[in-house]
Amino acid sequence: MPIKFNKLCLVALFFVVFVSYGQDTIYYNAKMQKVPPASDSIAYYEVVYPPSDSYNIWEILYEMNGEIVKEKKGVEKNERLWGGYIKKWHSNRNLHYIIQYRESKYDTIRTYWENGAEKRFDSFKNGKLDFGICYDSIGNLIPHFPYDIMPEFPNGIDALYKFIRQNTQYIAKKASIDISSERKKEKK
């Protein structure tokens, strides 16, 4: 019996050394800022695997308890995921989403509610939405809505320009008042 146990330990050690060879580990605090490996504030760690023939990026983000948070695997060009996928999990360990990319554009998007029910499925052709379907948290069909909704200033772009103009003028006026009062103090 001890011989089998020793062989098993040896095989396990070989596997750990083999798998960990060439990979990098990056540590993060709770705000996802990089920290040194010996830091007391480590909340997550990311394992970055070496490139292979089928991918040049493979990163897995873990919580410190070993639970997987996010995985990214595929071919990256110019710091963008050209082809591959990104998966993320809810804190309850159910899949949150999987986004697949082709030629640096969306190919498919699947998202899930925390209870594991499907939230949406979107299929794309050449980066343009071809088909999309959305569900509520209990599986009922609901009207489709875009996955990516760009933020907009309330009342549109003209209101944004007006806000910038008014606040820039206010700041400029305040600065000139402050400067003139400082000059008066210097003359005294």
**Backbone dihedral region for residue 170 (phi beyond 0: left; psi -120 to 50: alpha; all else: beta):** alpha
Spatial CB neighbours of 162, under 8 Å, sequence gap ≥ 6: none
pLDDT score, position 158: 92
pLDDT score, position 71: 96
pLDDT score, position 67: 94
Spatial CB neighbours of 70, under 8 Å, sequence gap ≥ 6: 60, 61, 86, 87, 88, 89
d(CA 102, CA 82): 6
Task: Check whether 89 has a pLDDT greater than 60.
Answer: yes
Mean pLDDT of 21-45: 90
Helices vs. strands in the chain: H and E counts, helices first: 2, 11
Burial of residue 60, with CB atoms counted within 10 A of its CB: 0-12 exposed, 13-18 middle, 19 or more buried:
middle
d(CA 93, CA 112): 12
d(CA 180, CA 47): 57
pLDDT score, position 13: 40
Mean pLDDT of the chain: 84
pLDDT score, position 33: 94
pLDDT score, position 14: 39
